[in-house]
Chain A
Amino acid sequence: MPEEFDLVIIGGGVVGCMVARFLSRYQLHVLLIEKEADVGMGASSANSAIVHAGYDPVPGTLKAKMNLLGNAMWDTLAGELNFPFERRGDYVVAIGPEELPALEDLLEQGRQNGVPGMHWISGEEMIHREASINPQVSGALWAPTGGLCDPFAVTVAAAENAIQNGVTILLNTAFEDFIFERKRIIGVKTNRGEYRCRWVVNAAGLYADQVMHQAGIRPEFSITPRRGEYCVLDRAEITINNVLFPVPSAAGKGILVTATLHGNTIVGPNANPVSDRTDSATTHSGIDEIIEGAHKLVPSLNMRHIIASFAGLRATGNAPCEAPGIDYCQDFILEIPTAVQGLVNLGGIESPGLTSAPAIAQHVIDLLCDAGEKLVEKRTWQPIRPPRPRFRSLPNEERARLIATDPRYGRIICRCELVTEGEIIAEVHAPLPAHTYDAIKRRTWLGTGRCLGAFDTPRVVEILSHELGIPPELVTKKGSGSEFLVRPTKQVQE
């Protein structure tokens, strides 16, 4: 393992991994360090999975610019990286005539941002498109360029493609400090050693402000974690076909009701600041808030059909928009600062961060070029990341063929989501290996069904123990300290 790289990326969320993937095209030695046991364990896997059309961000901001640029890149990216993506479009729904003016404003804002194809539809038409929408719907905004993805799949696909193309990704590796030579950054210190480099990309999400301060820049910038809670509703009980937003308020986009590519319906998120950057706990009051909000759009949603809930923390920054005359102070930071040398600084990446990720990655390339970095393309760059089979989506003839290639694809481990032993083992040995239960879960959707893992967990522990060559007591849910088992039944410390 070399200790000298051209570039080190701090943070393996969707932004960091996308940057790694885009950089992997060039003749650079790139290292990505991620402090958790897997990529994408923060906000990247706890969001509404929506690729936003872009009418929501304030015109003239970096958020608006990156949203629009990013949105346009998704079809190509999904085709290359082979992750689930659908351009299903989205709706902003006005309930009652008093909400219609807000829709007008949003339509106008969308035009300013350059969102293509938006138009107004009537309340009747909305009911026609989504039968269970609140009958008091007065009208809706239809944005055909909105999309749905599997956000974790995007993150891991970008990471794997980066690895395919020579990027090194180190998990369980936490950034500790910069190594400076006067005003120039020449390396990073981590809990696993020091790495020399010419550039560092700060993609540290919730901790981007701390990283900046350690670099000695932007002392006034700070990140307030804002927690967003979600509930997942059983697809056997509830069918919502579309992505439905309420009319936005000062607090944000509001509590939405959306279909997912998984088939379930998600409701949420709320937005409550928390003081602890690790506090991604769901709460009673939060769940109540989401339910109430969701009923505004779909009054018939029955909360008995909740099969899971989760929360993510947004990295809400306080950076003012740098464009003149725009009054907005929660914009992205995407810069190469002048006060130090060798830093590409990305901060305050909250919604529309997922949508913007490919555009941000491209922007990093542009920033590096502008700073004089000579980027030479690799002749062997492989943009295509090969997909791995998913048993549940295959017709029976293809299932039979899959089983013929490897008999373990016939053994169903997760009953609710039809995930096979073959798929689990493929993820354990993938280019970015999955070594924990949650890592397997994020990749295969195992354990996300009605039984929430009650059936599959002992079997997955057994498989991981076998594939990793470790005793079952060392298999973890999400990294060190989260082991499932403590000891064999018959061994007691007397």
Chain B
Amino acid sequence: MALKEKYDVVVIGSGPGGLAAAVSAKEGGAEDVLVIERDLEPGGILLQCIHNGFGVEIFKKDLPGPGYAQHFINQAQALGVEFLLDTMVLDLTPQRRIFAARRGSLHDLQARAVVLAMGCRERTRAQVRLPGFRPAGVYTAGTAQRWVNVEGYMPGKNFVILGSGDIGMIMARRLTLEGAHVERVLEIMPFLTGLTRNYVQCLLDYDIPLQLSHTVNRILGHQRVEAIESVRVDERWNPISGSEEIIPCDTLLLSVGLIPENELSRKAGVRLDPVTSGPVVDDSFETNVPGIFAAGNVVHVYDLVDWVTEAGFAAGKSAAHFAITERQKETRHIPLKSGSNIRYVVPHELDKERLATGEIRLQMRVREPVEAPVWVEVRSGDHLVTRSAEPYVRPGEMVTLVLPSHCYPEVAKAQVLTVAIAPRRS
């Protein structure tokens, strides 16, 4: 696939946020939209969320994750959105230059506007202070979900799940349906942290016990998990001595929270909110860096994908608007080049539109003196736009030339203007 050097809008990530942004950017008038996705195909996290519950608000339909994604993928493709798959963005500068790598190639491209839609990563064992051994069999719920649903492998037989968030509960059901045994779900809070409906259809339906105010004290097993030691906690999360229980299992699944994926945001100089750990954004989803927008879980963790899509739509629209303005500025701005016997001319570039409502004064110096009448000429290619007569020119005396407003129609068509000294015969 031949990549352009410059795109109106580049979206990083093709989950629900990115797909919606790409669609609305195209619909919002962006000429070219590129989505860069690190996985082999678009869809983001939705590809592994095979359960229903997506689209209830937006479509009034109860779709599985991949189906919800498919809708937007089809829409994006129909609109001519380009996809660069199996590609990792390595760097994003505040000037919206993007470096990305994929098998066989390194890409360096420029975006007029960027939408950050990288989603979240999962909180790890280290971040919830889970000491013990470091055997195989300790996985985040999302990693397990990818294995079970996409790659086609079960990561264990007997599970304990830490965290009663939706991902943990949904995996409890999923694993049970695929023939594994989920021994316990532990939740450190004194309340359920996911949706109550998931408690019913994932835990109650399958007789999986949930223990609130409990956590994992340590992990046992050298090569592979052999058991976890659970413990009850008080309202300050301190373990209550004497309440320890050894629960034999071969896998511990961690569903202990999501954190926005902010490596690239940092590189681009985007300011992060320490509370959400995601970018600070205004109501058009623009970050503090002009032209860099952010939408979806990368900003903060949503509970319904429908609202991620909404945010993506808004960010994409804003990004398209920004890109269009940039494009206009680029076409409106043309450079002024120094031609024959001109050492320099200031300004270096001018905004064509400004000529429509008023003159623009050019100031320049010549390289060599000419003690004879000359023309100071402004040309667009060979075409003469305007000129003024000077009796002589000397490097020590600055020359001024006024570009009058009535030149606007010709300047409007120009790509470059050149200023030069030409001989004048009286």
Q: Which residues of A contact B (CB under 8 A)?
A: 232, 236, 278, 280-284, 286-287, 306-310, 396, 399-400, 403, 407-408, 410-412, 415-416, 418, 420-421, 450-452, 454-455, 457-458, 462, 472-473, 476-490, 492-493
Contacts and interface: CB of A to CB of B under 8 A. Distances in A.
Interface stretch (B123-131, B197-205, B312-320, B413-421): B123-131
Contacts of B152: 488-490
B253 to A, nearest CB: 12
Contacts of A407: 103-105
Interface stretch (B5-13, B135-143, B323-331, B338-346): B135-143
A106 B126 CA distance: 36
Contacts of B263: 415-416
A35 B169 CA distance: 40
A307 B127 contact: yes
Given A415-B263, A416-B263, A487-B153, A399 B131 contact: no
30 contacts: A278-B222, A281-B131, A281-B219, A306-B127, A306-B129, A307-B126, A308-B126, A309-B126, A309-B131, A396-B106, A399-B106, A407-B104, A410-B104, A415-B88, A416-B263, A418-B90, A452-B124, A454-B139, A454-B140, A455-B121, A472-B151, A476-B223, A477-B223, A481-B224, A484-B136, A484-B137, A485-B153, A487-B153, A488-B152, A493-B179
Given A482-B224, A485-B154, A490-B152, A410 B105 contact: yes
A421 B154 contact: no
A396 B100 CA distance: 10
A452 B131 contact: no
Contacts of A486: 153-157, 250
Given A306-B126, A489-B178, A484 B223 contact: no
B353 interface: no
Contacts of B38: 412, 415
Contacts of A452: 124-126
Interface string B383-410: 0000000000000000000000000000
Nearest to A416: B263
Interface in B147-162: 147-149, 151-157
A400 B106 contact: yes
Contacts of A309: 126, 131
Interface in B206-227: 217-219, 222-224
Given A280-B133, A309-B126, A310-B134, A421 B155 contact: no
Contacts of A458: 143, 146-147, 151
A134 B266 CA distance: 28
Contacts of A455: 121, 143
Contacts of A408: 103
* Minimum-distance CB pairs A-B, first 8: A407-B104, A481-B223, A492-B179, A477-B136, A412-B88, A282-B131, A482-B223, A482-B136
A164 B235 CA distance: 59
Nearest to A457: B143
B102 interface: yes
B127 A488 contact: no
A306 B124 CA distance: 10
A189 to B, nearest CB: 24
Contact of B103 (A421, A454, A490): A421
B177 to A, nearest CB: 10
Contacts of B250: 486
Contacts of B178: 489-490, 492
Interface residues of B, number: 53
B116 to A, nearest CB: 15
Contacts of A236: 266
A353 B131 CA distance: 26
A396 to B, nearest CB: 6
Contacts of B31: none
A396 B156 CA distance: 41
Given A287-B131, A410-B102, A483-B136, A488 B154 contact: yes
B99 interface: yes
Interface centre among A454, A472, A490 (most CB of B within 10 A): A454
Contacts of A286: 131
Contacts of B310: none
B101 interface: yes
A281 B250 CA distance: 17
Contact of A396 (B108, B133, B224): B108
If over half of B's interface residues share one DSSP class (helix, strand or loop), that class is named, otherwise mixed; here it is: mixed
Nearest to B146: A458
Contacts of A287: 129, 131
A281 B106 contact: no
Contacts of A400: 106
A403 B155 contact: no
B136 A476 contact: yes
B121 A454 contact: yes
A410 B131 contact: no
A195 B179 CA distance: 47
Given A308-B126, A483-B224, A450 B121 contact: yes
B217 A284 contact: yes
Interface centre among A396, A451, A489 (most CB of B within 10 A): A489
Contacts of B222: 278, 481
A269 to B, nearest CB: 14
Given A281-B218, A481-B223, 9 more contacts: A282-B132, A309-B126, A407-B103, A451-B122, A454-B121, A477-B223, A485-B155, A490-B152, A492-B179
A474 to B, nearest CB: 11
Contact of B154 (A399, A478, A481, A489): A489
Contacts of B143: 454-455, 457-458
A490 B134 CA distance: 28
B124 A478 contact: no
Nearest to B143: A454
B86 interface: yes
B99 A484 contact: no
B151 A462 contact: yes
Nearest to B132: A281
Given A458-B143, A487-B154, A410 B127 contact: no
Contacts of B142: 454
Nearest to A400: B106
Contacts of A490: 152, 178
A410 B124 contact: no
Contacts of B224: 481-483
A75 B86 CA distance: 41
B153 A479 contact: no
Contacts of B154: 485-489
A454 B153 contact: no
A196 to B, nearest CB: 32
B103 A451 contact: no
Interface in B170-194: 178-179
Contacts of B218: 281, 283-284
A284 B229 CA distance: 13
Contacts of B137: 484
Nearest to B148: A489
A448 B383 CA distance: 63
A333 B250 CA distance: 41
A280 B131 CA distance: 10
Contacts of B102: 410-411
Contacts of B135: 477, 482
Contacts of A492: 178-179
Contacts of B105: 403, 407, 410
A412 B217 CA distance: 35
B261 to A, nearest CB: 8
Contact of A410 (B101, B122, B157): B101
Contacts of B146: 458
A489 B223 contact: no
A451 B131 contact: no
A385 B354 CA distance: 65
A37 to B, nearest CB: 10
Contacts of A480: 223
A277 B241 CA distance: 27
A140 to B, nearest CB: 30
Nearest to B99: A396
